[in-house]
Amino acid sequence: MKKTQKRTKRHYPEDFKQQAINLAKEIGTKETAEKLGIEKVQTLTAWVRYSKKIEENTEFKELEEARKEIKRLKKELDIEKESVAILKDAAAFFCQDHLK
């Protein structure tokens, strides 16, 4: 039996994506994907289509900005929740030590 490897989804930084999009508009998606080492040309094509959609549709752009802000706030909230949990544990620890 042959084992199949599970492919992991590759994540690219936003600035890399933007540079790739700009280059693809100049020289084409296939050439850009080859130059930058993007495995699938379809990935770059999707980025280019998405950027055009944002440029052409102001409502979509606003929704996308709101989505990014929500994502940032959720991440910030998770950090704050973790901080509160640590502080609660520390308070409980010091209260027990004080009662002895």
Q: Which residues contact 47 (CB under 8 A, 6 or more apart)?
A: 17, 20, 21, 24
What is the pLDDT at residue 81?
97
- Label residue 79 by pLDDT band (50, 70, 90): very high
- In the predicted model, is pLDDT for residue 6 greater than 70? no
Phi, psi of 39, deg, nearest 5: -60, -45
| Per-domain residue ranges of the chain | 13-56
Single pTM value for the model: 0.57
| Section 16-37 average pLDDT | 94
Q: What are phi and psi of 88, to 5 degrees?
A: -65, -45
pLDDT of residue 30: 94
Which comes out higher in pLDDT, residue 3 or 36?
A: 36
**How many alpha carbons lie under 13 Å from residue 69 in its C-beta half-sphere?**
6
User: Average pLDDT for residues 20-26, to the nearest whole number?
Assistant: 95
Mean pLDDT of 34-54: 92
